[in-house]
Amino acid sequence: MSSFRYRLDLQMFAGEKTESATPKKREEQRKKGQVAKSAELPGAFILLFTFLSFSMFGGYMKERFTQLFVVTFNDYLLTEVTIPNIVSLFGNLLFQGLMLLAPVFTVSVMVAMLGNYLQIGIMFTGDPLKMKFSKINPLEGFKRLVGIRALMDFFKSILKLTIVGVVVYQTIWNERGNMLSLGSVSLPETVSYVAGLAIDLGVKIGFILVILAIIDYMYQKYDFEKNLRMSKQDIKDEYKKSEGDPLIKGKIRERQRRMAMQRMMQEIPKADVIITNPTHYAIALKYDSNEMAAPRVIAKGSDFMAIKIKEVAKEHGIILMENRPLARALYSQVEIGQAIPADLFQAVAEVLAYVYKLKGKAK
């Protein structure tokens, strides 16, 4: 029996986008205006709540509409036709029209803002307004016309038209008896009935469109998340870009340590005394009464670094004082460039006094 072995190259899966997008990529896409959004949701909300506002503010709008005609016929059409009267007439018509439509406009604006806020929150970006040649590329435009998204939009439109047509037909068919009897009722009753039927149709259609828009938003969110996925290599590259290559960062830190060590070694000749352990620790102290409130540690090190500090100190004639408790306390409590704490004042003062005495200084 012969056996066959198939080699599987795992690298072919490295570029598959199987991972959820990182917060950094989401933020970058948001700055570009790329978010999960359904353009149909605000429009559906506006349609639904506009017809609901007709139902809520119907009495107010009827009163303003009646007043508009009463004022126009009584105060303007029976007066002399002059330029001031015409200006006053059109000014009044504009004001009355705005007052008539103000509730509907207010509801529409608030609902439009709410529909967008529920999807994307608060977002300000000018990136979509930038000139991009890819938007006027005929080939890209053709791809958008015949792509999957264009087909989905086409089928969504057909579905909406079909559902809305069925609802309108069913509603009118159910009201056919009442509609045929309109010839025997008064004009106000006819207007009231037609207005009620129109509002009822508008609310039904708006409610249906809101449901379809919510479904569309869920699909848009799914499609957006799918297109936003990243491969494992993308995540690694993003991490390297944001945090830096670990190898390069290690070299930078090593170089920074060497530079800090070099600066520290250059400060040792300025020290007044080196406190030693004597083999494990070495701490260089400096005190200048004109510039410092307390003695300051200008260099410190342990083991090999302590040996180097002592060697430099000997080359420049700096006095070395062995004081094991003080050396351990200074090494653990005080960083380079810091002044010594108050609890070590007495011990350091005694050491400096002895050093100054040896050097023949009077402090």
pLDDT digits (tens, 9 = 90+) for 276-319: 877 788 888 887 777 777 888 888 888 888 888 888 888 888 88
User: Rounded CA gap, 136 and 98, in Å?
Assistant: 40
The region of weakest confidence among 98-102, 126-130, 212-216 is 126-130
Pairing of strands 319-322, 273-276: parallel
Confidence at residue 363, expressed as pLDDT on a 0 to 100 scale: 44
Residues 42/109, Cβ–Cβ less than 8 Å? no
Q: Does residue 351 carry a pLDDT above 70? A: yes
pLDDT digits (tens, 9 = 90+) for 311-341: 888 888 888 878 888 888 888 888 887 888 8
Confidence at residue 281, expressed as pLDDT on a 0 to 100 scale: 84
What's the pTM value of the predicted model, to 2 decimals? 0.55
Q: What is the mean pLDDT of the chain?
A: 78
Residue 145 — very low, low, confident or very high, per pLDDT cuts 50/70/90? low
Confidence at residue 1, expressed as pLDDT on a 0 to 100 scale: 44
β-partners of residue 283 are 275, 300
Q: Does residue 2 carry a pLDDT above 50? A: no
The region of weakest confidence among 107-116, 146-155, 166-175, 329-338 is 146-155
Work out the percent of the chain whose per-residue pLDDT is above 70: 83
